[in-house]
Amino acid sequence: MSFLSRIMVIKSKAHFNAGGDNRAGSAPGRSTFEGTRKRSGTQARNRVAIVICCFGLVYAVIGGRLVQYGMASPESVSSIGPADHLMASRPDIIDRNGELLATDIRTVSLYAEPHKIVDPDEAVELLATVLPDLSRREIYRKLVAKSRFQWLRRQLTPKQQSRILALGIPGVGFRPEKRRFYPGGPVASHILGHVNIDNRGIAGMERFIDNQGLADLAAIGMTSDAKLEPVRLSIDLRVQSIVRDVVKTSTEKYEALAAGAVVLDVHSGEVLAMASYPDYDPNNPAEGAKEGWMNRMSNGTFEMGSTFKSFTTAMALDSGKVKLTDSFDARAPIRIGGFTIKDFHGKHRVLTVPEIFQYSSNIGTAKMADVVGIPAHKEFLTRMGLLTRMETELPEVKTPSQPREWKKINSITISFGHGVSTTPLQTAVAAMALMNGGKLINPTFLPRTEEEANDIARVVVKPSTVDAMRYLFQLNANDGSGRRAQVAGFDVGGKTGTANKVVNGRYSNNQNFNSFLSAFPINDPKYVVLTFIDAPQTGENGGRTAGLNAAPMVGEIIRRTGALLGVKPKFGEDGSALLVSY
């Protein structure tokens, strides 16, 4: 029987049964049919309800995830939020008064996932419209690399990020990073130093902070985004700005290769300001790599010239073999070992110790050193910290140089500042001991009280020697080569140093290294100020000796910073500022 025939038989039987039931009026068949229909309807409604619930659940999950993505920032694209919501990975650096010197800011860096790049050529062309200085060849190489991650540009600006986002390039994104920001730019660059692209300190106090353990914690992933306590420095930003301005202006004014200056608290050893020029902007350190990175104040050694006569004179007086009232014959030059030692402006007569200092006599100074002797001379300079590496927080500190063997000719030339090279900062630190009562105190770039300084100080000269040196400093500032450093009302004292500069291993006759070592107020010194200027071509009134350029630098610094440092000028009855005299 065919499939169609079978269907016809089944339909006939169903009709016969239905007709028989109708004739008999059978109720059970109708009930069964109606029950089946009810069950089918209920099941259909249940299925619809289940489908609705499923769709509702799916939409709820999708909605929840959308809300979650909306509330959280994805890793691939990071917006730069408000400054007060940013967490610093490095501590802020502030000056002694709380002024901000360095801080972390939030930024983003551009990366690529090469396996997601659709068209590398198009991506390069689009990126070049926003970042025209990118190396197209290098970027293309990164976009077709087999790796899954490539940095394209670190530390973008918000504007650059926004423009790249608008390009809609698949496979590129942004990751949040930290960038160090220095509000003052180059003002304190050699003190603060700078960080590398990964925000790790590589110079100055930034490196010092890392050396205290921050770098080690970062290396093992134990740093957090919690706000760190700021690091307070000893420098005064107001004074620092003035010192840097004077140094920069003087370099240009006197047509010099470089210049520098430092201001020290003689009782605590705190560095209140220090500048070396040329310098650089730590926000963009690469631009200053050629000349600006060199911190000549602590990481450059120089023959300091006649400023060393301060230490030779102090040595002679402290030894007890020379008194302030003694005299030495300076009529004839000293001839030794084929060399002739003579005075720059010789008086050609017997000079007292004060006159030797005032007229900066090489002959008289050499004879005082000869009285003390070579071993004692070397011991004294070592005691003053002038022959060994200086200890301070700043990593950039150079070790002084001296003769391997001290002979008489060495002792003679060293007495007036030739033959030993030391750092300008080190020279200023040794001078503090001649002004503060005889205590040698290592310099610090962190806050330190006078009591804390006394705990680590070493007494290196007698109080009587200190009194004599204060007198000699004042004498030279009033009536000697330091007159242009004098500031009425502030009682400045000091000693000039004009040294022939060593060029290619020989002393140059037309290039000087000039410096001025000073203290104020000289009757009770509170601060030491040292300036230097390297190879100046001119000075006040056309000359190029230290009294005509390095000394005026000191005068300008003290004139502008004296009141800021808390030194009250002295005034006469007529209201004019007074000069102290002994």
Q: Are 274 and 190 in contact (CB under 8 A)?
A: yes
Q: Which residue is associated with the tokens 């002004």?
A: 435
3-state secondary structure 472-522: HHHHHHHHCCCHHHCCCCCCCEEEEEEEEEEECCEEEEEEEEEEEEEEECC
| Residues 6 or more apart in contact with residue 422 via CB below 8 angstroms | 301, 302, 304, 386, 387, 400
Pick the catalytic residue: 189, 306, 360, 411?
A: 306
Cis before 521 (ω within 30): yes
CA distance 552 to 558: 10
Residue 111: strand pairing partners: 151, 173
CA distance 304 to 495: 11
**CB-facing half-sphere around the CA of 141: CA atoms within 13 A:** 5
Structure tokens at 487: 């500031």
Structure tokens at 525: 């010194």
Cα angle, residue 354 at apex, residues 349 and 360 outer, rounded to 5° = 70
Residues 263/248/250/434 CA torsion (nearest 10 deg)? 10
Burial of 493: CB neighbours in 10 Å, binned 0-12, 13-18, 19+: buried
Structure tokens at 200: 């790790």
Residues 532/534/540/545 CA torsion (nearest 10 deg)? 90
Cα angle, residue 537 at apex, residues 535 and 543 outer, rounded to 5° = 110
Structure tokens at 297: 């104040």
Structure tokens at 64: 């929840």
Q: Where are the beta strands (DSSP E) in 363-476?
A: 439-440, 458-459
User: Amino acid letter at 386?
Assistant: L
Q: Which residues of 227-259 are buried (b: 16+ CB within 10 A; e: fewer)?
A: ebebbbbbbbbbbbbbbbbbbbebbebbebbbb
Distance from the first to the final alpha carbon of the chain? 145
Check if 306 is active-site: yes
Structure tokens at 155: 């530390």
Q: Are 472 and 494 in contact (CB under 8 A)?
A: no
DSSP one-letter string for 162-186: HHHHHHT-TTEEEEEEEEEE-TTGG
- Residues classed as catalytic: 306
